[in-house]
Amino acid sequence: MIKPDIRIMKAAIEIAEENGTPFGAVLAMGDEIFITAANQTKKLHDPTAHAELLAIRKLSSSLKKTELSGFSLYTTCEPCPMCMSAAIWSGIDLVIYGCSIPEISKYMPQIDLQSSEVANRSFRKINIEKDFMADECLRLLDKFA
């Protein structure tokens, strides 16, 4: 399994900070960053404009394909069921997140279904690395939630 990269998670944290949100995401292959995105739900008036979905959409559009095997998704907060499902459908191999849904729930309402539960019921194997740089990611919730 790929070892999580601090530099890539820092990029997710930076894009979140730049956009005034606790939610940032990066799609990377190995140590190469391909796409960054931050939540845009309020700006776009779109409840589905989560950082993870925007990153997947941008990369799929850029590559002109929907199969993203070989990519890792770094996200400051654990993907919600919608975002985790999108990661599975797109074939992403690895999801690396900072703070968990139970932690996020202390700041704002969440659907209480963790990414591992979604993955365990999937037709596709997807690896999950949790709590990576969790303290840094929690600071985003303290600042922006």
Residues labelled as active-site residues: 52
In whole angstroms, how far apart are CA 103 and each of 15, 21, 144? Answer: 21, 16, 14
Distance CA 25, CA 78 (A): 10
Distance CA 12, CA 18 (A): 10
Distance CA 115, CA 23 (A): 15
